[in-house]
Amino acid sequence: MTAPSYSKIDSALTRSVNISKNFHPEFSFPDADVILRSFEGTLYRIHSYTLRTTSGLFDTMFSLPQPVKCHIEAQGRCQTGPGQRHDEPEEIPIYESDFVLERLLSLLCSIPIPSWESYDDVDRVLTAAEKWDTPGPIASIRSALTCPKFLTSEPLRLYVLAKHFDWKEEAKVAATQTLKLNLHDPVHAPTLTRLSSKDLLTLLNLHRKRRDMFKRLIDSPERFAAGNRQLDNYTWREFKNAMFAEIDRRPLGDTLGVASGHSAEWPEAKACWEAKCAKEGCDGLNYDRIATLRQIRNCIDVLPSTVDD
């Protein structure tokens, strides 16, 4: 009977150790020389070469002088030098959850990952990737953040991330998407506090510029001669005030200048379109509804749509 080879014995022992020590099944390479331990206690055995070539943090860590490893013999002596048998690598505690560590190591090792489910997940992994100084995973996450799922659901959080990492194009796209939000709503306060004062002011200025420019346009007698040149234009003034309040609440302006929808049912809108000439025997409508709505949409279209670099 042939005796089992040492490689088979080592492999069997490695599998036994992996099971007893709760190694992650995707990161239990038997020839790896680094073991990371998550906050939950899961172990990740990975090659130091992978870490030092993809992470600035680990590159610096492994370039520092390392303590001399030795093997304690049965007699209690420490044996060092070439040819000695090395013990299991020491576990390096990483104060991150299994989710964060698994996602980040997968990105470092080019292992496919599931799609991102929420901004909270992205935030956690991005924070760790930044601490580890890993440009590869950060670039991979960056490309996923402009998908409609994230762009339309929480554009303000995308704007915060884009400004933090100096992603100029993503910041512009996100700023445009924030126009559907009322930044003065208290629900957005926790997110806005993560912005620097400069970046916050830039975003607030975009919203304010749209509102103020819209007011100047709808007050223009050249654009709206019937309403802004007549003496008796009470209904038009009230309609303008309602539109100004709406664009202050929702600077995108997509609810204005439409023939149907919420704004079309405003009492101010109905009163404006039903207003008639006060001259005796005239009884004509003061405003052409379709032409006026078209001009309102023209005003919306020329408003600034994003932040400057």
- pTM attached to this predicted model: 0.80
The CA distance from 275 to 282, in Å, is 12
The CA distance from 24 to 42, in Å, is 6
Q: What is the DSSP code string of 211-248?
A: HHHHHHHHT-TTT-HHHHS-S--HHHHHHHHHHHHHHH
Average pLDDT, 10 consecutive residues per value, the chain (309 residues): 43 46 88 92 94 94 75 49 56 93 95 91 95 95 88 92 94 96 96 96 97 96 86 86 96 92 92 84 84 95 92
Residue 158 has a pLDDT of 94
Cβ burial of 18 (10 Å; 0-12, 13-18, 19+) is middle
The CA distance from 103 to 112, in Å, is 9
